[in-house]
Amino acid sequence: MHQRYKGIPWWGWVAAAVLYVVAAAVAVEFAWNRAIDVLADVGAHRLDFYAASLTSELGRFEMVPALVARQGSVRALLKASPDEARALLPTVNAYLEAVNRDVGSGAVDVIDAHGTVIAASNWNQPLSFIGTNVSYRPYFKDALAQGRGRFFGIGTNTGIPGLYFAHAINDGDTAMGAAAVKVSVDALESAWRTPGEVALVVDGNGVIVISTERQWKFTAMRAMTAQQQLEIQASRQYAGRVVEALPYRHRGDWNNAAWFGVFPDPGHEGRTARFLVMSRPAPQGHDTIMVLLDTVGARRQQRIALAFVTGIFLIATLYALYAAQRRRVIVEKLKAQEALRRANDRLETTVAQRTAALTQANTQMQREIAERERTEQRLRATQQEVVHAGKLAVIGQMAAALTHELNQPLVAIRTLCDNARTFFERGQSAQANANLERVGRLVDSMAVLTSELKAFARKPDVELVAVSLGEAVAHARVIYASRIRDEAVRLDVRIAPGTTVYAESSQLQQVIVNVLGNALDAVRGASTRVIAMEASEPDAQGRLRFTIDDSGPGIAPDVLARLFEPFVTTKPRGQGLGLGLAITSRIVDGFGARIAAANREEGGARFTIDFAAAEPPGTEHER
Ligand code: ADP
């Protein structure tokens, strides 16, 4: 039995969702890691490049103060008296100007032991260094103390940031002064500028001195203590400005060479961006080169990976839905087939059951039929026995009646014959003849009796046609004409001319003769002697009713019930055999009609014959 297929179950969806989340997380993580790896590679290369760039671009200026320190005129100037100095100064200034021009630096100057600039390449310019005291500047201090000095700073006169290199000018073991060169880092910054990246050089104080992002310059990468701020102020390294901290947040390490930081977005004022930060010590001094790589590309990679995984999952989900739908259709189809098969099985079972029931019913019926047939046979046998017994009784009655009816004339004939013979022997032929005539009459009456019997026994096998009722009645009147006249019987006949009944002509005459004869017998002793014969109009089916009423005494009650049985009579011996109405009834049955008898309320009997339609209804009207 199939369960209803409900599609993808809830845990399938949950599993898919979990799988999706895991796959998406893995993909996003993988994309991020890969992109950051690539970024870190790029960062490492950048750092190499910046380091090399610093060495090549700035390193070459490092030699310049040392060379200037060896120059004779410079050394002479430092040793010279004020007068000599005045004479030497133009030469030294010209020399410095030439050097500055040749190496492409910002400015070259010579500083005396007190820290005052006594000669400079920009001697003839409005913001000339000459006369400026730089004794507080670390590069000068370092040069006097250690032979050389180096630092990033903002020019006190010019306000232009730059890198200062200094070298001591010694006379034996004592330092007479220092030579210094100032280099602009503008060109470097322009060369390093790359979209999506920020390159920085951070000095020993943690202050950004070179930056491809102009606004970050001279901000600190770490918080400054009050002491540090004071020292910075004193050195006027950053032209006396207060060094602000760059507002950034450390956001975890990528590895030991790189970390993530959220910095002000250089491209968008007021916004922040996440950078991969890498750093390494600069080739010279205590500086650090830093590179910040924007992680927006990595984010894009993540989004692409997420979109890719989502797309694959969407396709997979759609396919799963499609497959589930397909499966549902197949399951439905199988279910329908199964249902059909079961219905078929049920049908077969039902048919088998019904067939069995029918077979049983059939057997039962056949048994019952056989039983009926047996019963019928028994009944028929019984009936035959009854009929046989009835016949025997009738024959017995008839034999008794016949014996009685025939015995009397036979006895009379016997006596008449004996007397006739005697008359012949005596020669009295007239008496003998009279006797023989009486014998003849007696034989005639016997013949009438036997003819009646013959008529009763004869099977009425005749052809029925439309017969005129009026003619049959007229025939009976002729037969009884003398009796009607002699006995003064009034005969009322009301039959419409052309009235026909479905009968056989001679038999119809016999019926009317019988009934009219009985009526004449009945009225013979009555005071009024009236016999009325009447035929109704045929009804729609062509049936009509014929009645014969008489003014006689009516039918005796004990006779009425058995009136149409043979040998039922109330008439004295010799006048009736009781066969008339029995014969009449048989004939009327043969016409398909019915005869009935009743006593009328006003006295006398009424015989009614209901004739069947002579012809099918309708045909008469067409004729
Ligand atoms: P039968 O005339 O030989 O007696 P039926 O069968 O003709 O035989 O008549 C049977 C009996 O029916 C008669 O004996 C008579 O009693 C009675 N019967 C017949 N017709 C009439 C009638 N019109 N009025 C009174 N009784 C009748």
With a cut of 90, say whether residue 307 has pLDDT above it: yes
| Protein residue closest via CA to atom 23 of ligand 1 | 519
Whole-number pLDDT of residue 573: 66
Atom of ligand 1 nearest to the CA of 570: 14
Ligand 1: residue of 487, 489, 518 to mutate (most ligand atoms within 8 A of CB) is 518
Per CATH, the number for 459-622 is 3.30.565.10
Whole-number pLDDT of residue 18: 93
pLDDT tens digits, one per residue of 525-563:
999 999 999 999 988 888 999 999 999 999 999 999 889
Query: What mean pLDDT do residues 44-61 have?
Result: 88
Question: Which comes out higher in pLDDT, residue 2 or 156?
Answer: 156
**Residues 180, 182, 183, 185, CA torsion sign:** positive
Whole-number pLDDT of residue 524: 92
- Residue 518 CA to ligand 1 centre (angstroms): 5
DSSP element (H, E) containing 254: strand 249-255
Query: What mean pLDDT do residues 582-591 have?
Result: 89
Contact (Cβ atoms closer than 8 angstroms) between residue 509 and residue 587 = no
pLDDT tens digits, one per residue of 250-305:
988 988 889 999 999 888 888 999 999 999 998 876 789 999 999 999 999 999 99
Selection from 448, 395, 451 nearest residue 567 by Cα: 395
pLDDT tens digits, one per residue of 472-488:
999 999 889 989 999 99
Residue 157 makes CB contacts below 8 A (sequence gap 6+) with 127, 128, 129, 132
Residue 64 half-sphere exposure toward CB, CA atoms < 13 A: 32
- Residue 570 CA to ligand 1 centre (angstroms): 7
Residue reference for tokens 């004020």: 82
- Residue 606 CA to ligand 1 centre (angstroms): 12
Whole-number pLDDT of residue 619: 45
Whole-number pLDDT of residue 494: 96
Q: How far apart are CA 523 and CA 550, in angstroms?
A: 7
φ, ψ dihedrals at 435, nearest 5°: -60, -45
Q: Residues enclosing ligand 1, CB less than 6 A?
A: 518-519, 522, 550, 552, 554-556, 559, 563, 568-571, 576-578, 580-581, 605
- Residue 533 CA to ligand 1 centre (angstroms): 17
pLDDT tens digits, one per residue of 403-437:
777 787 888 888 888 888 888 888 888 888 888 89
| Protein residue closest via CA to atom 20 of ligand 1 | 518
Atom of ligand 1 nearest to the CA of 576: 3
Mean of all residue pLDDT scores within the chain: 87
- Residue 589 CA to ligand 1 centre (angstroms): 19
Query: What mean pLDDT do residues 159-183 have?
Result: 89
| Protein residue closest via CA to atom 17 of ligand 1 | 555
Query: What mean pLDDT do residues 199-203 have?
Result: 90
Tokens linked to 293? 């790589």
Atom of ligand 1 nearest to the CA of 604: 24
Contact (Cβ atoms closer than 8 angstroms) between residue 176 and residue 74 = no
Whole-number pLDDT of residue 458: 58
Q: Band the pLDDT of 623: cuts 50, 70, 90.
A: very low
Whole-number pLDDT of residue 2: 46
Residue reference for tokens 């903002």: 154
Residue reference for tokens 């950078």: 275
Query: What mean pLDDT do residues 373-390 have?
Result: 71
pLDDT tens digits, one per residue of 123-132:
888 888 888 8
Walk across the sheet containing 208-211 and list its strands.
Answer: 208-211, 197-202, 288-294, 272-281, 258-264, 249-255
Residue 101 half-sphere exposure toward CB, CA atoms < 13 A: 8
**How many residues comprise the chain?**
623
| Protein residue closest via CA to atom 8 of ligand 1 | 578
- Residue 240 CA to ligand 1 centre (angstroms): 175
Parallel, antiparallel, or unpaired: how do β-strands 161-171 and 148-154 relate?
Answer: antiparallel
Instruction: Name the architecture of domain 63-184.
Output: 2-Layer Sandwich (3.30)
Count CB atoms within 10 A of the CB of residue 318: 10
- For residues 543-566, one letter each, b for 16 or more C-beta atoms within 10 angstroms of the residue's C-beta and e for the rest, the string is bbbbbbbbbbebbeeeeeeebbeb
pLDDT tens digits, one per residue of 101-136:
999 898 999 999 999 999 999 888 888 888 888 888
- Residue 482 CA to ligand 1 centre (angstroms): 21
Atom of ligand 1 nearest to the CA of 548: 23
- Residue 605 CA to ligand 1 centre (angstroms): 10
| Protein residue closest via CA to atom 2 of ligand 1 | 576
Residue reference for tokens 């309708």: 618
| Protein residue closest via CA to atom 11 of ligand 1 | 569
- Residue 464 CA to ligand 1 centre (angstroms): 27
Q: Which of 141-155, 428-442, 458-472, 528-542 has the lowest mean pLDDT?
A: 458-472
Residue 305 makes CB contacts below 8 A (sequence gap 6+) with 27, 28, 30, 31
pLDDT tens digits, one per residue of 610-621:
998 766 544 444
- Beta bridge partners, 608, equal 547, 596
- Residue 514 CA to ligand 1 centre (angstroms): 9
| Protein residue closest via CA to atom 10 of ligand 1 | 569
Q: Which of 173-182, 183-192, 447-456, 496-505 has the lowest mean pLDDT?
A: 447-456
- Beta bridge partners, 109, equal 120, 180
Q: What share of the chain is helix, strand, coil (3-state, %, to 5)?
A: 55, 20, 25
With a cut of 80, say whether residue 568 has pLDDT above it: yes
Q: For the chain, give every domain's residue range.
A: 63-184, 398-458, 459-622
Atom of ligand 1 nearest to the CA of 566: 6
Give the end-to-end CA distance of the chain in Å, rounded to a whole number. Answer: 80
Atom of ligand 1 nearest to the CA of 578: 8
Count CB atoms within 10 A of the CB of residue 197: 20
- Residue 493 CA to ligand 1 centre (angstroms): 21
